Structure 1
Amino acid sequence: MSAELELPDWASLSGTPDTAMPLFACALLIARDEYPALDVARCDAVLQAHARHLQIEVDAIGPTPLKMQAINRYLFEEAGYAGNHDAYYDPRNSYLNEVIERRLGNPITLAVVQMDVARRLGVALEGISFPGHFLVSLPVGDGMLVMDPFNGGRPLGIEELRSRASPHVDGGPPDDDTLAGLLRPATPRMMLMRMLRNLHGTYAEAEDWARAVRCADRLLSLSRDAPDALRDRGLGYLALGHVTGAREDLRNYVMRYPDAADVDAVREQLVQIGRARDRAH
């Protein structure tokens, strides 16, 4: 299986339905941008080895939550996967090959590892694009078991979830309906876009504009309707001195998203580009 894993082509992804989007392979595709010599087969083989190590134990367990408990115990205690609390914004935390190699990651890449190993063992986890830290959930009866992959896969109760969401929700702790909305499953496309936005933020903060532009461009490969990515690619082009590309992206942003909160600031950027061009001539 490891030797046969193939990564998709970026150009094909905007038309790929969410249900057909291979999360693990696409996460490696993101990593290959930074690591062109990425050993895809090795990454796949490591997770397959994790699943193989767990197979007999998990198969012998009946209740799915207890299967998940065994998976978490192995991944986060024996195999040593952990959240990188000391260097949270290290870009290596967002590249799946580095996470597999170093056993350190951020919430969403650790979730990808957890979800993929569980998938290989017949346990269906879902990602949750929760505000703050990304989470995962396991459907249980009419409810769900919510876990925090950044903190050892620890289960989270409803009051802790409410408390975690409060700083990100207007009006204080979310009511039941609001919380239920925050706990909706994230599609693979949503997860990959969140990974790329994390990377973009890290690179933009460091003024590494070439990599920031690359992330914005990949976001647009995943979804043509990503206003922030169109704007960010244009601003990144501008920072790199690629004025033609910047003008095209920013003009498209203004035309396609006239009600965006920052559209006036983007229009001003276009005015400045025009003035600079006039001075050059």
Structure 2
Amino acid sequence: MQGLITLPTWDSLAELDDEALPLLPTALLIARDEYPDLDPAVYDAVLQSHADHLRTEIATIDMWPLKIAAVNRHLFDELGYSGDHGEYYDPRNSYLNQVFERRLGNPISLALVQMEVSRRLGIPLDGVSFPGHFLVRLPLNDGVLVMDPFNGGRPLGVEELRERARSHLGGEVPDDDVLAQILDPAPARAILMRMLRNLHGVYVERGEWDRAARSADRLLKLAPEQDDALRDRGMAYLQLDYEAGARSDLGLYLKRNAKASDAQFVREKLVGLGGVVPRLH
């Protein structure tokens, strides 16, 4: 099993464009932060076994919706992958090794399992960074089939998608153009950033500031221009009494975002640290 998959290094990720960024290896790299003994070959082999089990059956099916229905039946009904409705914010739901071992996950981690198995079978399943819950989509001749991996891969109709989006759009019902834009495929970087933001939010809620800082730091490794992650890391450093790091991050955040809605709040934190507040020109 060794040698089937190689994890990237954190310092290499910012230089890669979205097409070159490896989704599964980087998701496992995120998990290795929390589980340093993680062997990526083990989980690559698990995915491959799922795909190999389905390969003969999928080859006999002509229609894309029936192919993905077979994948969903195997993953969610036979193998028991499921959304963790009881402990949705358990951080293990974001760590892919734990998703494989517990067969429980959140929408984005279950989507990643579903996507990886499907793609190994030649099924072009993509992620959708939908507001609220992450979804997946399969292109068809007359549109797209959108599914909810958190709920067994259930297909979602247009009106349900509009209603789901509406609560995240200030009550506005999206028209066809807006909905189509929302349903665009999510690139690997956006998927991984969303995983890290989920983890950051969980750890902030738990008051685990070392892990919150790590999640924000890893997000910056993926996308150094994300100023919200810079602010979040600085705030976590503040909670950890790492004043030099907090001053550096919060000062740079204010320099780049002097007119942000939270600028005054950040400025007050920086003044409390005795930091130099950037002047607004």
**What TM-score range do you get, normalising by the shorter chain?**
over 0.9
What letter is aligned with 1:222?
L
The DSSP-based 3-state class of the residue aligned with 1:144 is strand
Corresponding residue of 1:155: 155
**Runs of 4+ in structure 1 displaced over 3 angstroms?**
none
- Contact 1:2 1:44 (8 Å CA) reproduced: no
Corresponding residue of 1:115: 115
Instruction: After superposition, give the CA deviation of every residue in 1:241-268 in whole Å (9 maximum; x if it has no partner).
Output: 1000100000000011223211111111
Distance 2:188 2:53 in 1: 26
- Contact 2:4 2:44 (8 Å CA) reproduced: no
Corresponding residue of 1:3: 3
Corresponding residue of 1:133: 133
Aligned-pair identity (%): 61
Corresponding residue of 1:208: 208
Corresponding residue of 2:96: 96
Corresponding residue of 1:165: 165
Corresponding residue of 1:234: 234
- How far apart are residue 171 of structure 1 and its match? 4.2
Distance 2:14 2:81 in 1: 32
Corresponding residue of 2:48: 48
- How far apart are residue 170 of structure 1 and its match? 2.4
TM-score between both structures, scaled by the size of structure 1:
0.96
Aligned residues: CA RMSD: 1.1
- How far apart are residue 65 of structure 1 and its match? 1.5
Distance 1:145 1:21 in 2: 25
Extract unaligned runs of 5+ from structure 2. Answer: 276-281
What letter is aligned with 2:70?
A
- Contact 1:247 1:273 (8 Å CA) reproduced: yes
- How far apart are residue 142 of structure 1 and its match? 4.0
Distance 1:2 1:100 in 2: 18
What letter is aligned with 1:86?
G
Do the aligned partners of residues 87 and 171 (structure 1) sit closer, same or farther apart at CA in structure 2, a change above 3 Å counting? closer
**Residues matched between the structures, number:** 275
Corresponding residue of 1:251: 251
- How far apart are residue 143 of structure 1 and its match? 1.1
TM-score between both structures, scaled by the size of structure 2:
0.96
Corresponding residue of 1:278: none
Moved more, 189-198 or 63-72: 63-72
- Contact 1:2 1:45 (8 Å CA) reproduced: no
Distance 2:170 2:215 in 1: 30
1:29 and 2:34 correspond: no
